[in-house]
Each structure stands twice: as C-alpha cells, then as structure tokens.
Amino acid sequence: AQVTVDFQKRKPISSTLMGIFFEDLNYAADGGLYAELIQNRDFEYKLSEKGGNDKSWTATKAWQTTGQAKLTIDSIRPIHYNNSHFAVLTTTQKGDALVAEGYEGIALKAGEAYYLSLFAKNMTGKNSKLSIQLKDASGKVFAVGVVNVKGTIWQKYEISLLVKESTANAELSIVPETAGQYAFDMISLFPKNTFKGRRNGLRADIAQALADLHPRFVRFPGGCVAHGNGLDNIYRWKNTIGKLEERKPMFNLWGYHQSMGIGYGEYFQFCEDIGAQPLPVIAAGVCCQNSSVGGAGQQGGIPMEQMDSYIQDILDLIEWANGDLTTKWGKVRAANGHIKPYNLKYIGIGNEDLITDLFEERFRMIFKAIKAKYPEIIVIGTVGPWSEGTDYVEGWKLANEIAIPMVDEHYYQSPGWFINNQDYYDNYDRSKSKVYLGEYAAHIGGRANNLHTSLVEALHLNSLERNGDVVSMSSYAPLLAKEGHTQWKPDLIFFNNTEVKTTVDYEVQKLYGVHAGESYIASQVELSDMDSYLQKRVSVSVVEDSKTKDLIIKLVNILPTSVDTKLNLKEFDYLPEALKITLTGKLKDTKVLPVESKQSVGSSFYTNLPAHSLTVIRLQRK
C-alpha cells in the first residue's frame, strides 16, 4: 500500500474527542470504582431493588451475626431522614459479633492502612468498648482496633487499622466487649491508599486505569441511570453531595442499590484529578424511554407544575459547579470542600430518550432556561435511541430547529457495520449541531469483545478523527464491569475485588487518547488491488499534536495478511527515528498488549502493517 500525506490539506479538530462515560452499571460504582469495602453500610438495601426476586436483598444484606447475637433493623431516630434505617445489635454474651462480608469478601493489602468509621450508640446508656477485627473465615486476624462507644446519642467514631498480611477474603467483625444493645449505621472501611489519597475516594487501580486512557472528559452518571426507571428514580444531583449520612441512597435501575457514596462532588473531583472536563448528564424531565413507567397520567414526564423547580435544580447545578463564594450554591460547594469553581463547560440534557411531545416540551423548557441564564454552557441534547434506517430523524429535526450546540448519538453494532459505515459522518452538515458519540462499541456474537471488535473501533476512531470538525466528543460504553455482576456486554474494563482486567478495546481507546491531535492532515491510502472489500479494511488517520507538533499516523489493517506500506510525507521536518506502536494478534484474542519499537522515517519510508493490526507511528519534530 501507499499512504500519501498532504500537509496542505489540514483542518482543526476537536481537542475533546476522546473521553470516557461512567455509569453505575455492572457494579461499576459501589463494589467497584468507589473504594468503600463495606457493602450495604447504610442498611438501606430493599427487596424491591431486586424486584423481590432475591430474598436476601434486604436491609441486612451482607451482614451476619455470630453466637447468640441478634441483628434487627430500626428506623426510629435515624442519623438522618435520608438514611432512615440502622442496625440494632443485641448481644447476651461477650464475644458475639456483627460481621460484614463486604462485596463478596474484603480485599486487604499488607502494610497498608485502612480507615474504619461508624456511627454508633449504646442503647443501654453505658460506655463500652468495641473490638474491631479484620479476619478471615478461618479466624486469621489481619488487623485489630478498638472503638469506645459513649452514650445513647449517635456519634461518629473513626480509627485507623494497619493490615499485616494481604488477603482477598477478609470480613469485618464488630465485637462488643460488654453484652448489651447497640445501634450502628454507616459502617465504613476504606483503604487510605485511594486514588490521589482522597478521603471517600476511588479505588486506586481502577481509577488509574481510567486516568491512563487520558480522557479529555468524563460523562456521568449515565446512561439510563441518569433518567431512571420512573419519576422517583430520576438521578437528582442534590441528593448526592455533602455528608455521606445525609445523601439519599436510591434504587439503581440496573437492579441494585446506589449508595451515592460517589456523588457529584466525587465525580467532579475525579475529573479535576485527571485533567478531564466534567460532563454531567441530567434527565430531560422524563424518565427512561419516557412512555410507560411514570404512572397513570404522567407517562414518565415530570408534571408541568413541578418543571420550574426541576429546572431550578439544573441551574443550581451550574451555580454549584461554577459560582463564586457570593452565590448560594458556590458556598455549598465550598462548604463541601471545594473552594475553587470547577469550570463546568458542558451539560447533557437527556439520554437516549424517545423524541416524543412529552420529551420535547420539557427539553425545550430546560434548554431555553440554561441558554438564558448560562449562554456560555454547551448544552448537549439527545437524538434518541438508535434504530436502523431512521438515523435519529426526530432528534435531529429538533436539534436543527432550536440549534442545540451538540447532540448525543449512541450505537452498539457488529464489526461489519463499523467496516461499512466509515463514511458515517463524512456528509454531516458542518453548519448544524456538533456530535457527541456518547455510547458506542462493536460486539461479536454473544456480545463479546476481542481484537476484532477493537480493530473495527480503531477504524471508526480514524473516521472520527477525520470528522473531528463535526464530531466533538466520543466515549466507548459501558466502561466498567465487575466479574460475576456483568449485566451488559461488551465492556471496556473488567475487574474483581483485587484485579483490573483491561480489554483489547481498552488498549485501542488508550492509544487514541494518548496519541490524540488537534489538527487533522489529509492522507490517502492506495492498495495495489482496488477491490473495495480490501480498501475498506485498511485505514489511515494523520493528526498533529498542537503542543509538541508531533505527527501521529494511525494505520489499521484488518486484512488477514500483512501489508507492506510506503508512506510519503511531502513535508519532512522530523527526527529520523520515530516511535512505532503495534497492536496485533489473532482476531479472537481477548488479551493483546501494544508493543513499542523504533521506526526509521524520512520524507518517504516503509513500514509493515501486520495482519489484524493497529499501528501508531509518532514522529517527533526536529
């Protein structure tokens, strides 16, 4: 093949093309990215969260007692009305305990410190010691500490525990030294070593894997989680900030519990920590698919008489993120620990909603209000769910009519679709709304992912770079999946309590994130055989990093044979040795890592594209 780069034909492209989309699906938050090790710390699990199917899914889920101790749930005088249930432990003999199993075991690391905190009261009114023990089922002890519980008023107690030996499967025992009756709530155990050492922080290894993608933005909290299953399940940001015990936990429409331990403060902080723009997505006043779940007469839309206050909440979010200390919500942000504004630029309104009258009416109201008060904020609308052949007609009609700055498209497709739709954005009207490709992934049978899916995603990313003047943002979805709790496939990163297992698709996202550019330079690929089947399987994208002026060439070859390729650079002002990164293997491989090597470069040079490969060549300016 021959690739000819035409430096005369260049255009600026989006500097925010590569991002990530976090949704609490597949246990991505509690038991996942959120570093909390105690499951159901708030005793707020409810049978209804599992549709009544899992009889163990109650307020005592993941808790047990030993000996003759009894655990009951009470709700009289809770710590806070948003967290209305708490545990009452009654012991009649010394040594009986309340035991937390964590998320199918508590993983501990040797030599590391852990923060144990709990709210407690001693119902008998006496002072009493609690022995806090991290041990495994065989009784082997990994750390111990003591908490002195004083009196009948809720008080928060905190201690630090140093772990002696690593284990994947500890449990937490709370053992009163005096028999009696104790009330407990918000029993929490965190590693000190969270991502960037933040309190109430994120699991360091998972968060690092996300940071390594070099995302320019993070979308949160969904997906379907953002608009919820029914009006009561719409994600309300105000319920997720401030003291943990005052946050309002909620049913997760993926069939489990959201503790809200990761809330808006934590999402924004994470964005700041990794240098990414926050992209909150708020329900457009309608819940998931807005038609059937809102109850009689509501059809899943917030009643009109409540829309003003709903819109005010959205305006308050912008004030919370960007307002200074003279503003009401800026003060709240500062009181929650973040004095400087976050500099929010984007807000998503709606997620994959059916474009119905119900949706439109509410979307228009929200859009108008944000535009009037915060014209500098880029509102990202939705063009609705994907349906073959309709190309989001209704969504685009609305976007064009009211000039929504950007719209969110979603599609999950087969490799063949990605191969045959490389021109998907080539003819998009550049004068209309920009595109945020908010959810996409390729999947083979059984919705699996492997080198094959990752390479067609690379083909698509080459097309997105080529169309980076109209496609402003993109994010693969879903991002995270816990082994044993995977509800949606494919996913970018799998994990369990101790390991993070990245996919080949992850490697592709990372290569495009790390080697992104802000200037697109036209190029042409010519294969000796002009057969369109072959032509569609070799692709090139050339970008320039505006800071370093490095030239980055990404070449995808999904043919089963290697392709010797001559690259012609008409302008050459680079060091003679470039970095070459190759990702290659068998199409069915699920674990492939990129390999770095050196590539001699000149105004024209040869390289070999292995069968089934992505090659990135990064040329450094002289």
- Binding residues (CB under 6 A) for ligand AHR: these are 23, 25, 222-224, 351-352, 410, 439, 477-478, 488
Minimum gap (Å) between residue 219 Cβ and ligand AHR: 10
Minimum gap (Å) between residue 170 Cβ and ligand AHR: 33
* Locus of tokens 């998503």: 348
Which residue lies nearer to ligand AHR by CB, 23 or 457? 23
The pairs formed by 418-422 with CB atoms below 8 angstroms and a separation of 24 or more are 418/442, 418/456, 418/457, 418/459, 418/460, 419/456, 419/459, 419/536, 419/537, 419/558, 420/536, 421/460, 422/459, 422/460, 422/462, 422/463, 422/536, 422/539
Q: Would you say 333 and 320 are in contact if contact means Cβ atoms under 8 Å apart?
A: yes
Report d(CA 167, CA 134) in Å as an integer: 10
Minimum gap (Å) between residue 441 Cβ and ligand AHR: 8
Active site residue 352: yes
Which residue lies nearer to ligand AHR by CB, 108 or 224? 224
What are the CA-CA distances from residue 343 to residues 78, 117, 277, 347 (Å)? Answer: 37, 33, 8, 12
- Beta strands per DSSP E along 40-85: 63-65, 70-74
Minimum gap (Å) between residue 73 Cβ and ligand AHR: 31
Please identify which of the residues 36, 319, 352, 439 carries the catalytic annotation: 352
- Beta strands per DSSP E along 13-79: 18-21, 63-65, 70-74
Which residue lies nearer to ligand AHR by CB, 223 or 285? 223
Which residue lies nearer to ligand AHR by CB, 131 or 487? 487
Residues 6+ apart with CB under 8 A from 202: 33, 34, 35, 194, 195, 262, 266, 270
Report d(CA 407, CA 428) in Å as an integer: 13
Which residue lies nearer to ligand AHR by CB, 171 or 352? 352
- Beta strands per DSSP E along 66-179: 70-74, 86-91, 98-100, 106-108, 113-122, 127-135, 141-150, 155-162, 167-176
| Bridge partner residues of 115 (DSSP) | 160, 190
Minimum gap (Å) between residue 348 Cβ and ligand AHR: 11
Which residue lies nearer to ligand AHR by CB, 359 or 574? 359
Which residue lies nearer to ligand AHR by CB, 242 or 385? 385
Identify the CA nearest to 313 among candidates 356, 337, 345, 349: 349
Report d(CA 441, CA 453) in Å as an integer: 8
Give the number of C-alpha atoms closer than 13 A to the C-alpha of residue 248, restricted to the C-beta side.
10
| Tokens of residue 527, six digits | 């294969």
Minimum gap (Å) between residue 285 Cβ and ligand AHR: 17
Q: Would you say 60 and 71 are in contact if contact means Cβ atoms under 8 Å apart?
A: yes
Minimum gap (Å) between residue 381 Cβ and ligand AHR: 14
Minimum gap (Å) between residue 410 Cβ and ligand AHR: 6
DSSP code, position 585? -
Going by their DSSP bridges, the two strands 577-584 and 613-619 should be labelled as antiparallel
| Tokens of residue 152, six digits | 């009948």
Sequential DSSP letters for 84-111: --EEEEEESSTT--EEE-BTTBEEE-TT
Which residue lies nearer to ligand AHR by CB, 227 or 434? 227
Which residue lies nearer to ligand AHR by CB, 475 or 523? 475
Minimum gap (Å) between residue 382 Cβ and ligand AHR: 9
In the complex, residue closest to ligand AHR by CB: 223
Report d(CA 438, CA 558) in Å as an integer: 25
List active site positions: 352
